[in-house]
Amino acid sequence: MKVLTTIAEFKKARRRIDSTVGFVPTMGYLHEGHLVLVRRAKVENEVAVASIFVNPTQFGPKEDFARYPRDPERDLDLLKKEETDLVFMPSAGEMYPEGCSTWVDVLKVTERLEGASRPGHFRGVATVVAKLFNIVEPTRAYFGQKDAQQVVVVRKMAADLNMNLEVVVVPTHREPDGLAMSSRNVYLDLQERQSALVVWQSLNLAQQLWSQGERKAEILRQQMTDLIRKEPLARIDYISIANPETLEELTEIKQPALVSLSVYVGKTRLIDNITLRK
């Protein structure tokens, strides 16, 4: 496994590769969910590349950039065990040198949900992903369904800008009790970890109501709200039942629907989602 920290070095290594490249962009502090993406990249491509970069531009000024968990040594050990071929691990200065001023903006699908709760977040995501795609030039890039809106934004950007790669979305990897894996789960203390389960439980409730024939989005939203409100440590940021591609809110669920939510558990903001489909 080769670890490269500059864009020039990575591009030089990339030019020597003439086969398919699977790419897993990460912010490090890897968990099993990331490793599932790497395994998938390895299976489907001749070369597997991962990046580790806590992207400052996707964090708001009051968000957790400074305290976002980092453990590059452990990350590299894990990637090595998965037989990752190349790891790109640049500094912030390497990715955003003095004076850089170009941004990729995906409009409409970024207006609501995470985009509304985290202004500027998706501009940062789209820009860094566009940069990473140009540096890595992947055949396929792998993203987890846990970040549902990110998946929509990256797909839209790749399609709108005619990028030459396939965006592959991998189902959310969960702890045995259902909590979606996330690097931010480390922020939870024992009591919060228990309370956090209500996020998954509320999604299960939506799934159950839908399976029983309920098609009114408002009913699902209300029942989820009621369930989460019973959990004293949890505070709802948003609950959404939306078209999975446009992210427009639905009133009647006549088509596949993305049920997504953001909940604060203590000070930690968690997100999760499921798709309802026949």
Query: What residues line the site for its own copies (CB under 8 A)?
Result: 7, 11, 99-109, 126-127, 130-131, 134-135, 137, 156-157, 159-164, 246
34 is catalytic: yes
Do 88 and 14 form a contact (C-beta atoms < 8 A)? Answer: no
What are φ and ψ of residue 35, in 5° steps? -65, -30
Q: What is the largest CA-CA distance in the chain?
A: 57
The smaller minimum CB distance to its own copies, of residues 109 and 241, is found at 109
| Other Cβ atoms closer than 10 A to 236 | 17
Min dist. Cβ of residue 156 to its own copies (A): 6
| Of residues 109 and 234, the one with the C-beta less far from its own copies | 109
In the bound complex, what is the minimum distance in angstroms from residue 134's beta carbon to its own copies? 4
User: Shortest approach of its own copies to residue 256 CB, angstroms?
Assistant: 18
Q: Are 142 and 24 in contact (CB under 8 A)?
A: yes
Instruction: Give residue for tokens 């989820």.
Output: 224
Query: Annotated catalytic residue: which of 31, 34, 121, 173?
Result: 34
What does the block give as tokens for 187? 């922020």
Nearest CB to its own copies, comparing residues 29 and 133? 133
Whether the Cβ atoms of residue 181 and residue 174 lie closer than 8 Å to each other: yes
| Interatomic CA distance for residues 41 and 33, integer angstroms | 13
Residue whose token pair is 């997504």: 260
* DSSP type of residue 250: P
* Distance in Å, CB of 149 to its own copies, minimum: 14
Find out whether 127 and 103 touch, Cβ atoms under 8 Å: yes
Of 28 and 90, nearer to its own copies (C-beta) is: 90
Least separation in angstroms between residue 244's CB and its own copies is 14
Q: Nearer to its own copies by C-beta: 8 or 186?
A: 8
Three-class SS string for 187-207?
Answer: HCCHHHHHHCHHHHHHHHHHH
Catalytic residues: 34
